[in-house]
Amino acid sequence: MATAVPAERDAVAQALSGSTHTVIAAGVGPALAAAATATALTTAAVPYDLVVSAGIGGGFQPEAPVGSLVVADEITVADLGAETPAGFVPVTELGFGTVSHRPPNALVRDLANATGARTGAVLTVSTVTGTAERAAELRARHPRALVEAMEGFGVAEAAALHHLPVLEIRAVSNPVGPRDRAAWRIADALAALTEGFGKLAPVLEGWTPHDQ
């Protein structure tokens, strides 16, 4: 499990105490998340079967209200590409790389059933959205997006290099859009993350890569 900051790591670890899962605080942003996750995978004493990006994030309203839990069925980087006179062009249309990773369908379904979580796209950004216009632009390009965060795609890229499946699980702490600190509910989102992982743990323990 890779989170961004210690508070997220501790919220997840609290629910998984006594399990064999490893939870790290990989750092903020896709680059550091990718580097730290790749290092953890390379140096692991025992090979992993699954990589999970977890934490809190902004929710696109009204589909992902504050306090809700989201399991990604698509992990997409939203701002990797080029600006053109016709608008944003993703890096894949420039002939490079990838912009999305797909978690195992069966596992996403089972986790959603176990927790009541919503499923949809989780966007990775390097710059957090701070205006209604930016939020609307992202939704126009990614109509299935439920959450915006900063690490999932980096974690997914590291997992892909190690030929491992990946998940992203987010608890919503604030609406995507104008930055209004009074509307942030970080403590509530961390509590939702702990509660969610408490319900997720049995599903994760019983899952094998053959269940994809």
Query: Residues near 137 by Cβ (< 8 Å), separated by ≥ 6?
Result: 88
pTM of the model: 0.93
pLDDT digit string, tens, across residues 38-58:
999 999 988 999 999 999 999
Tokens of 33: 């998340």
Mean pLDDT (the chain) is: 94
Query: Residue 156: which of 77, 39, 211 has the closest Cα?
Result: 77
Cβ-based neighbour number of residue 52 at 10 Å: 23
CATH class of 2-205: alpha beta
Q: What is the C-alpha separation between 109 and 152, in angstroms, rounded?
A: 19
Average pLDDT over residues 188-194: 96
- Percent pLDDT > 70 in the chain is 99
- Whether residue 210 is predicted with pLDDT greater than 80 in this model: the reply is no
Buried b (16+ CB within 10 A) or exposed e, 161-192: eeebbbbbbbbbbbbbbeeeeeebbeeebbeb
Single-letter amino acid code for the residue at 32: L
**Confidence category of residue 211, pLDDT binned at 50, 70, 90:** low
- Whether residue 204 is predicted with pLDDT greater than 90 in this model: the reply is no
**Confidence category of residue 201, pLDDT binned at 50, 70, 90:** confident
Are 80 and 91 in contact by the 8 Å Cβ rule? The answer is yes
- The domain segmentation of the chain, as residue ranges, is 2-205
Q: What is the C-alpha separation between 194 and 123, in angstroms, rounded?
A: 22
**Confidence category of residue 212, pLDDT binned at 50, 70, 90:** low
Query: Residues near 76 by Cβ (< 8 Å), separated by ≥ 6?
Result: 99, 100, 101, 121, 122, 123, 124, 142, 145, 153
Tokens of 40: 């953890």
Are 212 and 101 in contact by the 8 Å Cβ rule? The answer is no
